[in-house]
Amino acid sequence: MKILKSLMVTAAVSLALMANAAHAENKKIALVVKALGIGFFEAANKGAQEAAKELGDVEVIYTGPTSTTAEGQIEVINSLIAQKVDAIAVSANDTDALVPALKKAMDRGIKVISWDSGVAKDGRMMHLNPSSNPLIGNMIIKLAADNLPEGGDVAVLSASATATNQNTWIAEMKKVQGNYKGINVVTTVYGDDLADKSYRETQGLIQSYPNLKAIIAPTSVGIVAAAQAVTDAGKIGQINVTGLGLPSEMAGHVKSGASKSFAIWNPIDLGYSATMIAYDLIGGAEAKPGAELKMGRMGTVKLDDNNEGAMADPFVYDAKNVEEFAKIF
């Protein structure tokens, strides 16, 4: 009797396993975000679904905690391990806290990558940055130059003088300045990411440089304040404000003409690329320094010594697409 029972159980289990094997053709890729309900990540999911459709045999599980905590993400990751997903692509709430859970996942053969907000090197196979410092530095001056065919004076409005990312981008910008003929970067001023100080610094720029043609603000507070100051000074059309900003924050200023275009990463592309890379890894590609991983329509990403890679140039937003993206983030 007992033997019969155990036989039946074995049969049931092996049947279930077989069913599983038949089903396993659909690869399960989990897109773990910082928290559900954030426009930026909903947009990333849109890109991931697009990638799944393109690949055909992929099921994307879009998940994350309800608030942006590392604890919540660890729970989510543990349940994904139990579900035996094929890959996890995570935008982490904490660089180090997720490492043990993700290591466990990798031990079980799950491919783990991080995107947008990275995990420490031990906890992932590779990290996908939305862009890279040289690409950003080049993009911000290109945005100014594209609207100045005859060249002219351009000023930079940064955050604080000690902000590492800002200084790196500006240094990268200056390296490629020679490629843009006639563009003359006159000065860099610091608005400390305060609306009032950025506004005042912009007024100062307008006074000090009467021939100023563009202001590059690679900071979301600065670009909004500069656009408002240019509007108030009646300089729309004479001075173009550009740099890095969010579509929802810049929509009004693009509409008024104070800013012709600006850039930031495109979350749709980011979700798409993360899914494509995860698929490539499931397919046997190896994430090691120097390796090139496939990202579908986004081309390939080359990994550096830390197994990190940059997706693409920042995405340009202008009057044509800003309204659409303003609804997303």
Partner 1 sequence: MSKFLKNRELLLVAAIAVLLALITLRFPAFVAPSNLARVYNDTSILIILALGQMAVILTRCIDLSMAANLALSGMVAAMLNAAFPGLPIPLVILVAMALGTLLGMINGALVWKLDIPPIVVTLGTLTIYRGMIFLLSDGKWINAHQMSDAFKALPRDALLGFPVLSWLSLLMIGLVFLLMSRTALGRAFYAVGGNPHAAVYTGIDVGRTRFFAYCLSGALAGLSGYLWVSRYAVAYVDIAAGFELDIIAACVIGGISIAGGIGTVAGAVLGALFLGVIKNALPVINISPFAQMAISGMVIIIAVAVNARAERRKGRVILRKAEAV
To partner 1, the closest distance from the beta carbon of 66 in angstroms equals 13
190 or 315, CB closer to partner 1?
190
DSSP state of 33: -
168 or 307, CB closer to partner 1?
168
Q: Which ranges of the chain does DSSP label H, i.e. alpha helix?
A: 2-23, 39-55, 70-82, 99-107, 133-146, 164-175, 195-208, 220-232, 247-256, 267-282, 322-326
190 or 262, CB closer to partner 1?
190
Chain centroid to CA 21: 35
To partner 1, the closest distance from the beta carbon of 312 in angstroms equals 26
57 or 323, CB closer to partner 1?
323
To partner 1, the closest distance from the beta carbon of 185 in angstroms equals 15
Positive or negative torsion for Cα 326, 39, 226, 173: negative
| CA–CA gap between residue 219 and residue 170 (Å, rounded) | 11
Amino acid at 21: A
Which positions lie near partner 1, rule CB under 8 A?
Answer: 160-161, 187, 189-190, 194-197, 199-201, 203-205, 207-208, 224-225, 227-228, 232, 248-253, 255-256, 326
To partner 1, the closest distance from the beta carbon of 190 in angstroms equals 4
| CA–CA gap between residue 144 and residue 133 (Å, rounded) | 17
Residue 189 main-chain phi, psi, to 5 deg:
-120, 165
313 or 318, CB closer to partner 1?
318
| CA–CA gap between residue 171 and residue 164 (Å, rounded) | 10
18 or 161, CB closer to partner 1?
161
To partner 1, the closest distance from the beta carbon of 181 in angstroms equals 26
**Residue 307: which of 114, 164, 131, 136 has the closest Cα?**
114
65 or 309, CB closer to partner 1?
65
Helix/strand/coil (H/E/C) assignment for every residue in 34-58: CCCCCHHHHHHHHHHHHHHHHHCCE
To partner 1, the closest distance from the beta carbon of 258 in angstroms equals 9
Residue 162 main-chain phi, psi, to 5 deg:
-105, 5
Listed in sequence order, the residues at least 6 apart from 260 whose beta carbon sits closer than 8 Å to its beta carbon are: 147, 240, 242, 254, 318, 319
For 158, other C-beta atoms within 10 Å of its C-beta total 25
To partner 1, the closest distance from the beta carbon of 93 in angstroms equals 14
To partner 1, the closest distance from the beta carbon of 227 in angstroms equals 8
78 or 207, CB closer to partner 1?
207
